[in-house]
C-alpha cells in the first residue's frame, strides 16, 4: 500500500471522481434526511429540526428492536443459503470453458432483468395452494400412491397441498431467489483465473474434493465471500416487496416498517431515525472490519 | 436449458466434478427459471389480469405490447437509464476500489464505511433524500429527453457504484503487485502499467460489477419514482402503478421480448467477438 | 408487407429513438440545454401552451380518453404514473415538479388541503359539474367541492367464493372476530382501514376511533391473526380469484371486475355498514397549466367521456349523466351500486392526523405479535 503523499497527483486523479460524487449526490442528500431524524413534525409537511432524540428513543423500543432482530435473522439465513447454493455455481462459471462462461454468467443474470414485481408474481403462481409446485407434487403423490396400491400396499392418503406461500418460508425462499446473483457474482470475480495448480496439487496429494474446496478454494475466495456476504445480507435486510407479497401475517421486516413511516404514517423523522439506526450499525461494522484488516496488514 | 449447462473441460481436476457440479448448476438454473417460464407462459394468457388464472392461449398481448407506445417508451427509458448508469458506475466504482486498495490516506476507514452506505440505506430513505435534494437545488424537470432522465440517472449511479466498488475491490486483493512493479521497471508509465497489467486483472470484477449495476438500475422502482419528473415513466414505475387494477399480460409479453432480445444480442456479440479475435476471455 | 415495418410504424418514431438512442447519449447535469428546447408555437383555446401533465394510476382511464381530449381541445395530455396515494403525497410534499391534474382519494384531498397543497377550483370553468350525482355534489371531505371533483367512488366490503362459504357472510365478524373460515381469509394491510372497519364492527363510527378503542381492536385483531392467511396490499381480488382464500376484504369495484371472470364470486356490504372511498380530480398548487387542467377536468366529467371511462374501468361512477348512458347490467349491478339503504350505513373516513400514527403503530404491534 502506498501513502497518498508519495504520489499526490495520481491519488487526486483516482480519488476525486468517486469522492466528489459520493459527497455531492449521497452525503449531502442523505444529510438532509439525517437532520430530519432529529426533528419533530409540525403540521403535515413541515419538520422542525429541534435536535430531539425522541425519534431514536422510539426506534429503540422493544417493538421495533424485535422486528429489527427478526429481519437480521431472516437476512442472515438468506445469506447463508445463498452462499451454500451460489458457491458451486460460481465455481462452475470459473471452470467453464471461455466459450461457455459468458453464457453461464448471462444464464444467472437473465432472470433478474425481468421486473422484480412480476417475477415475484410468477413465483407466487408457482408456490400457491393450487400452484405449479403443489400440482407437481400432488401428481407425483398420486402416482406413487397408485404404485403402492398396485404393489398391494396401503395407498397414501389424499394429498394436502403444502403451505408454500404466505409464511416465513416463502419470504426466505423469495429472498434467496432475488439475491442469489449478489452472491454468485462477487465469488466469480474473486475466483476467476485462480491458480489451478494449487487444486491439482491438493488432489494429487490425496485430499478429497470437499477438503480441497474448504482448505484451498475457500481461502482464495475469502475476499469474494466477504463482499458477497455484505452485498447479499445488507440488501436482503432492506427488502420490503418480498415480505409484503410472499409473507404471512407475521412476516413484516424492518424495511416494511420504515417504508410505512415515510408513506402512510407521514412520519419522516421517525422513518429517518429507523433508517439511520440501520446505517450506524452497518457503518460501525464495516469500519471495524476495515480497521482490523488494516491492523493485520501492518503486522505482516 | 441444456444450453446453459457448463461444458467442463477435461482437465484432471474438473473431470470428476462433472456429475455433481452439473446437477447442482442444473438445479439452481431450474430454480431460477421455473418462475420465469411461468411468467412467459402467462404472457400468452387470454385474460386482462395476467398472472392469476389461466384463461386460454393468445398472441394478442404481444401485439398489444408492441402497439402500446407508453409501454415501449417506458422500456426505452429504463434501458437508457440502466445503460448510462452502468457505464458511469463502473468507472466511478472501479476508481473508488483502486483508491481504497492502493493508497493509505487519512480518513480511510471513514471513507470505506461511507462508500458502503448507499448499499445500506433503505430504498425509501434514499428516495426521499433524493426527492428533497433535487427539490432544494431546483433541478429542472422540464428538460427534453434524454436530459429529463438526468435526476434518475444521478440517483441510480449513486446506489449502483458502491456495488461495483465492493466487487472490484475483492478482486484486487488477489493482484500480484510485483507484476505492476516489473512493468514499471521495464519503463512502463503509470498509465501503461494500469492499462496493461492492472486493468486485465480487474476485468472479471468489472464484468460482475457491471452486471450487478445494470440489474439494480433496471429494476429500481422507489428511488426512480421519487426522482422522476412529469415525463419520465420507467418500466418498473409502470408495472407498480398497474398493481391496483392488476398487471396485464402485456407486461409479461414485454419482459419476454426483452429476454429474447438479450439472448439474441449476446449471441451476436459473442459471434462477432470470436470471429474478430479468438476466444473472448483466454487464460 | 414486412411485419417489422408495420410494428415499427406502430411503436412510433419517438419510442424507437428512445430505445435505440440509449447507447449514444452523453449527459449534462444542468438546464443549460433547456433553453434550446423550442416552445410549441400553437396555443390551446385556454390560452396556454397545449400541454397537460396528468398524474394517475396506469390503466385508470378510458382507453381512448386522452386522444379524444386532444381531438376536441388540441391539448396533449402526458400521463405520469404513481402507485399509491401515499407515494403521491410524499412526492408532492417536497413541491410540485410540474403536475397539472392529480387523482387523490378523499382522505388525501383532506390531507392536501390541510397542507395547502391544492389549488382552489373555479366552478365556472367546470360546467359539467352539473352531471355529478346529488350525493357527490357536497361532501364532508371537501365542503362545497372547492378543491376536488369526483372521479370514481368505492365502498369496502367482503368478496367471497359462493361455493366455499355458508350463505352470505354479511358481517365483519367473519373477517375480524371468528375462526369459522380459518386460514381462508385475507384482509387489507392498510392500518387505518383495518382499525376504522374494526370500529364499525364494534358499533362505532369510522371517524369515532379513540385510543382506548384502538387498544380493544388491536386485541381483537391479535386474537384473529392466526386465522388470517395474509394481509394483502391492493391485490385482494387476485387472491380470491386464484382460490388462495375464500373471503377477502376489498373494494366493490375490484370484486366487480373479477365477478365478470368467475361466476362463483360475489360481494357483500356487511350489515354493520362500511367505509366509502372516492378518487377525485384535483389541481396541485404550482400547476404550470391551470387553465388546461380545468378544461381537462371538465372533459372527464362529460357524459360521453365518463361513459367511456366507466366502460373500461368498471368502477362505480359518480357521474349520473354517464351512468345513464351505460348498459343496464352496469347500472343495475347491485355490487357496483349498492342500495341507498345500504349506503346510508356507510361513511367517508375523515383524515385524522393525530390518529394515523397511532393506527400505524398499533398495526405494527399486531403484525409483530
- Is A45 in the C-facing interface, judged by CB distances under 8 Å? yes
Residue C184: DSSP 8-state: -
Considering only CB atoms, A258 lies closest to which of B17, B122, B171, namely B122
Residues of A in contact with B9 (CB under 8 A): 95, 97
Residues of A in contact with B168 (CB under 8 A): 189
* Spatial contact of C270 and C158, defined as CB atoms under 8 Å apart: yes
Cβ neighbours around C343 below 10 Å, total: 17
Full pLDDT tens readout for chain B, 283 residues: 344 444 444 454 453 456 778 888 889 999 999 888 888 888 888 877 766 777 788 888 898 888 888 889 999 999 999 999 999 999 999 999 999 988 888 888 888 888 888 888 888 999 999 999 999 888 887 778 788 899 999 999 999 999 999 899 888 888 888 888 888 888 888 888 888 888 888 888 999 899 889 989 998 999 999 998 888 899 999 988 988 887 888 888 988 888 888 888 888 888 887 776 544 443 3
pTM confidence score:
0.86
Residue matched to cell numbers 383524515: C351
User: Which candidate in A169, A266, A269, A272 is best for mutational testing of the C interface (most C CBs within 10 A)?
Assistant: A266
C-alpha dist (Å) from residue B231 to B73, B194, C48, C78, C98: 10, 42, 18, 7, 9
Residues of A in contact with B218 (CB under 8 A): 113
- The pLDDT of C84-95, averaged and rounded, is 90
Collect all residues with Cβ–Cβ distance below 8 Å to C173 and sequence separation of at least 6: C201
- Is C241 in the B-facing interface, judged by CB distances under 8 Å? yes
- The pLDDT of C211-239, averaged and rounded, is 92
Report d(CA B122, CA A237) in Å as an integer.
9
Report d(CA B9, CA B283) in Å as an integer.
13
What is the count of residue pairs from A and C with beta carbons less than 8 Å apart?
Answer: 77
Q: Is C229 in contact with A263 (Cβ distance < 8 A)? A: no
Report d(CA C60, CA C77) in Å as an integer.
14
Q: What is the DSSP string of B183-240?
A: HHHTT--HHHHIIIIIHHHHHHHHHHHHHHHHHHHHH--HHHHHH--TT---HHHHHH
pLDDT at B12: 45
Cβ neighbours around B9 below 10 Å, total: 12
User: Which chains have 3 or more CB–CB distances shorter than 8 Å to chain C?
Assistant: A, B
Evaluated on CA atoms B75, B81, B86, B87, the torsion sign reads: positive
C-alpha dist (Å) from residue C366 to A65, A262, C171: 15, 20, 22
User: Which candidate in C284, C360, C363 is best for mutational testing of the A interface (most A CBs within 10 A)?
Assistant: C360
Q: Which three cell numbers stand for residue A253?
A: 421486516
Report d(CA A129, CA A124) in Å as an integer.
10
The proportion of chain C whose per-residue pLDDT surpasses 70, expressed as a percent, equals 88
Q: How far is C340 from chain A (nearest CA, A)?
A: 31
Residues of A in contact with B107 (CB under 8 A): none
Q: Is A250 in contact with C93 (Cβ distance < 8 A)? A: no
Cβ neighbours around B123 below 10 Å, total: 25
Q: Is C87 in contact with A263 (Cβ distance < 8 A)? A: yes
- Is A119 in the C-facing interface, judged by CB distances under 8 Å? no
Q: Label each residue of chain A as H, E or C.
A: CEEHHHHHHHHHHHHHHHHHHHHHHHHHHHHHHHHHCCCEEECCCEEECCCCCHHHHHHCCHHHHHHHHHHHHHHHHHHHHHHHHHHHHHHHHHHCCCCCHHHHHHHHHHHHHCCHHHHHHHHHHHHCCCCHHHHHHHHHHHHHHHHHHHCCCCCCCCCCCCCCCCCHHHHHHHHHHHHHHHHHHHHHHHHCCCCHHHHHHHHHCCCCHHHHHHHHHHHHHHHHHHHHHHHHHHHHHCCCHHHHHHCCCCCCCHHHHHHHHHCCCCCHHHHHHHHHHHHHHHHHHHHHHHHHHHHHHHHC
Q: Is B116 in contact with A29 (Cβ distance < 8 A)? A: no
Report d(CA B142, CA B135) in Å as an integer.
13
pLDDT at C266: 94
Coil vs helix vs strand at C157: strand
- Is A245 in the C-facing interface, judged by CB distances under 8 Å? yes
pLDDT at A264: 86
Report d(CA A228, CA C230) in Å as an integer.
32
Q: Which residue of B has its CA nearest to C235?
A: B244
Q: Residues 141..200 of B with a Cβ closer than 8 Å to C: which?
A: 141-147, 150, 153-154
C-alpha dist (Å) from residue C67 to C63, C127, C299: 9, 21, 12
Coil vs helix vs strand at C194: helix
Q: Is A181 in contact with B212 (Cβ distance < 8 A)? A: yes
Helix (H) or strand (E) holding B35: helix B12-42
Residues of C in contact with B77 (CB under 8 A): 18
Residues of B in contact with A17 (CB under 8 A): 91-92, 95
Is residue C8's pLDDT more than 60? no
Q: Is C86 in contact with A249 (Cβ distance < 8 A)? A: no
Instruction: Give the pairing type, strands C275-282 and C148-161.
Output: antiparallel
The alpha carbon torsion through C66, C70, C73, C78 (nearest 10 deg) reads: 70
ipTM: 0.85
Helix (H) or strand (E) holding C51: strand C51-56
pLDDT at A190: 85
User: Which chains have 3 or more CB–CB distances shorter than 8 Å to chain B?
Assistant: A, C
Q: Is B114 in contact with A283 (Cβ distance < 8 A)? A: yes
Q: Name the burial class of residue A1, with classes exposed (0-12), middle (13-18) and buried (19+) by CB atoms within 10 angstroms of its CB.
A: middle
Residue C101, φ and ψ in degrees, nearest 5: -130, 130
User: Which candidate in B38, B89, B146, B157 is best for mutational testing of the C interface (most C CBs within 10 A)?
Assistant: B146
Amino acid at each position: 500500500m502506498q501513502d497518498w503523499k508519495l504520489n499526490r497527483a495520481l491519488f487526486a486523479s483516482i480519488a476525486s471522481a468517486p469522492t466528489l460524487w459520493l459527497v455531492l449526490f449521497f452525503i449531502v442528500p442523505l444529510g438532509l434526511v439525517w437532520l430530519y431524524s432529529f426533528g419533530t413534525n409540525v403540521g403535515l409537511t413541515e419538520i422542525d429540526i429541534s435536535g430531539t432524540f425522541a425519534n431514536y428513543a422510539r426506534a429503540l423500543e422493544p417493538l421495533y428492536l424485535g422486528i429489527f432482530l427478526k429481519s437480521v435473522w431472516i437476512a442472515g439465513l438468506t445469506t447463508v443459503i445463498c452462499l451454500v447454493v451460489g458457491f458451486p455455481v460460481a465455481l462452475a462459471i470459473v471452470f467453464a470453458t471461455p466459450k461457455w462462461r459468458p453464457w453461464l454468467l448471462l444464464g444467472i443474470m437473465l432472470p433478474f432483468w425481468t421486473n422484480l414485481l412480476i417475477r415475484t408474481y410468477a413465483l407466487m403462481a408457482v408456490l400457491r395452494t393450487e400452484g405449479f409446485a403443489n400440482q407437481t407434487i400432488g401428481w407425483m403423490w398420486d402416482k406413487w400412491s397408485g404404485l403402492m396400491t398396485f404393489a398391494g400396499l396401503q395407498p397414501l392418503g389424499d394429498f394436502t397441498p403444502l403451505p408454500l406461500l404466505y409464511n416465513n418460508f416463502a419470504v426466505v425462499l423469495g429472498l434467496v431467489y432475488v439475491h442469489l446473483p449478489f452472491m454468485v457474482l462477487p465469488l466469480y470475480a474473486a475466483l476467476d483465473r485462480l491458480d489451478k495448480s494449487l487444486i491439482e496439487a491438493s488432489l494429487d496429494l490425496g485430499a478429497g474434493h470437499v477438503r480441497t474446496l474448504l482448505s484451498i478454494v475457500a481461502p482464495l475466495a475469502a475476499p469474494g465471500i466477504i463482499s458477497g456476504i455484505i452485498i447479499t445480507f445488507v440488501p436482503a435486510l432492506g427488502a420490503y416487496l418480498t415480505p409484503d407479497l410472499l409473507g404471512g401475517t407475521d412476516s413484516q421486516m424492518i424495511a416494511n416498517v420504515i417504508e410505512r413511516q415515510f408513506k402512510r404514517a407521514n412520519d419522516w423523522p421517525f422513518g429517518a431515525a429507523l433508517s439511520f439506526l440501520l446505517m450506524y450499525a452497518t457503518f460501525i461494522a464495516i469500519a471495524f472490519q476495515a480497521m482490523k484488516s488494516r491492523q493485520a496488514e501492518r503486522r505482516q | 436449458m441444456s444450453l446453459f449447462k457448463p461444458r467442463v473441460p477435461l482437465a484432471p481436476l474438473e473431470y470428476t466434478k462433472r456429475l455433481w457440479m452439473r446437477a447442482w448448476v442444473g438445479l439452481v438454473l431450474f430454480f431460477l427459471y421455473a418462475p420465469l417460464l411461468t411468467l412467459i407462459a402467462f404472457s400468452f394468457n387470454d385474460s386482462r389480469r395476467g398472472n392469476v388464472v389461466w384463461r386460454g392461449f393468445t398472441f394478442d398481448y404481444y401485439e398489444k405490447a408492441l402497439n402500446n407506445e407508453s409501454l415501449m417508451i417506458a422500456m426505452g427509458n429504463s434501458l437508457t437509464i440502466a445503460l448510462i448508469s452502468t457505464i458511469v458506475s463502473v468507472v466511478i466504482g472501479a476508481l473508488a476500489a483502486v483508491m481504497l486498495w492502493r493508497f493509505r490516506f487519512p480518513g480511510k476507514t471513514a471513507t470505506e464505511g461511507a462508500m458502503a452506505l448507499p448499499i445500506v440505506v433503505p430504498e425509501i430513505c434514499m428516495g426521499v433524500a433524493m426527492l428533497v435534494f433535487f427539490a432544494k437545488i431546483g433541478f429542472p424537470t422540464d428538460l427534453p429527453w434524454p436530459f429529463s432522465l438526468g435526476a434518475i440517472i444521478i440517483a441510480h449511479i449513486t446506489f449502483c457504484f458502491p456495488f461495483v466498488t465492493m466487487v472490484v475491490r475483492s478482486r484486487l486483493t488477489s493482484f500480484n503487485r510485483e507484476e505492476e512493479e516489473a512493468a514499471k521497471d521495464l519503463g512502463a508509465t503509470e498509465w501503461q502499467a494500469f492499462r496493461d497489467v492492472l486493468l486485465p486483472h480487474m476485468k472479471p470484477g468489472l464484468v460482475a460489477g457491471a452486471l450487478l449495476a445494470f440489474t439494480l438500475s433496471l429494476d429500481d422502482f422507489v428511488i426512480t419514482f421519487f426522482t422522476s419528473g412529469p415525463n419520465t415513466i420507467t418500466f418498473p414505475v409502470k408495472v407498480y402503478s398497474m398493481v391496483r387494477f392488476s398487471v396485464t399480460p402485456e407486461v409479461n409479453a414485454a419482459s419476454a421480448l426483452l429476454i429474447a432480445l438479450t439472448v439474441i444480442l449476446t449471441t451476436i456479440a459473442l459471434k462477432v467477438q470470436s470471429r474478430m479475435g479468438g476466444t473472448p476471455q483466454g487464460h | 408487407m414486412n411485419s417489422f415495418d408495420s410494428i415499427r410504424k406502430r411503436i412510433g418514431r419517438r419510442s424507437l429513438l428512445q430505445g435505440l438512442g440509449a447507447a449514444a447519449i452523453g449527459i449534462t447535469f444542468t438546464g443549460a440545454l433547456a433553453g434550446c428546447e423550442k416552445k410549441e408555437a400553437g396555443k390551446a383555446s385556454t390560452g396556454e401552451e397545449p400541454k397537460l401533465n396528468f398524474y394517475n394510476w396506469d390503466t385508470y382511464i378510458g382507453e381512448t380518453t386522452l386522444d379524444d381530449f386532444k381531438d376536441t381541445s388540441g391539448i396533449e395530455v402526458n400521463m405520469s404514473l404513481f402507485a399509491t396515494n401515499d407515494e403521491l403525497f410524499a412526492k408532492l410534499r417536497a413541491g410540485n415538479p410540474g403536475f397539472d391534474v392529480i387523482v387523490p382519494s378523499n382522505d388525501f384531498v383532506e390531507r392536501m388541503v390541510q397542507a395547502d397543497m391544492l389549488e382552489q377550483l373555479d366552478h365556472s370553468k367546470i360546467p359539467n359539474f352539473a352531471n355529478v350525482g346529488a350525493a357527490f355534489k357536497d361532501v364532508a371531505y371537501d365542503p362545497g367541492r372547492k378543491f376536488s371533483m369526483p372521479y370514481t367512488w368505492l365502498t369496502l366490503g367482503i368478496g367471497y367464493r359462493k361455493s366455499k362459504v355458508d350463505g352470505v357472510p354479511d358481517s365483519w365478524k367473519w373477517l375480524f372476530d371468528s375462526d369459522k373460515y380459518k386460514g381462508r381469509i385475507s384482509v387489507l394491510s392498510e392500518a387505518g382501514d383495518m382499525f376504522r372497519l374494526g370500529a364499525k364492527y364494534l358499533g362505532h363510527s369510522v371517524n369515532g376511533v379513540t385510543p382506548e378503542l384502538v387498544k380493544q381492536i388491536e386485541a381483537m385483531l391479535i386474537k384473529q391473526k392466526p386465522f388470517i392467511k395474509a394481509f394483502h396490499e391492493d391485490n385482494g381480488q387476485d387472491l380470491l380469484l386464484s382460490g388462495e382464500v375464500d373471503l377477502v376484504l376489498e373494494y366493490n369495484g375490484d370484486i366487480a371486475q373479477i365477478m365478470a371472470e368467475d361466476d362463483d364470486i360475489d360481494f357483500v356490504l356487511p350489515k354493520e355498514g362500511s367505509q366509502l372511498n372516492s378518487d377525485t380530480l384535483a389541481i396541485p398548487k404550482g400547476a404550470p397549466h391551470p387553465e388546461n387542467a380545468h378544461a381537462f377536468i371538465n372533459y372527464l366529467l362529460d357524459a360521453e367521456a365518463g361513459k367511456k371511462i366507466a366502460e373500461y374501468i368498471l368502477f362505480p361512477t359518480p357521474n349520473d349523466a354517464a351512468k345513464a348512458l351505460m348498459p343496464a347490467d352496469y347500472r343495475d349491478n347491485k355490487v357496483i351500486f349498492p342500495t341507498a339503504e345500504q349506503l346510508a350505513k356507510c361513511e367517508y373516513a375523515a383524515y385524522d392526523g393525530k390518529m394515523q400514527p397511532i393506527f400505524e403503530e398499533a398495526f405494527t404491534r399486531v403484525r409483530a405479535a
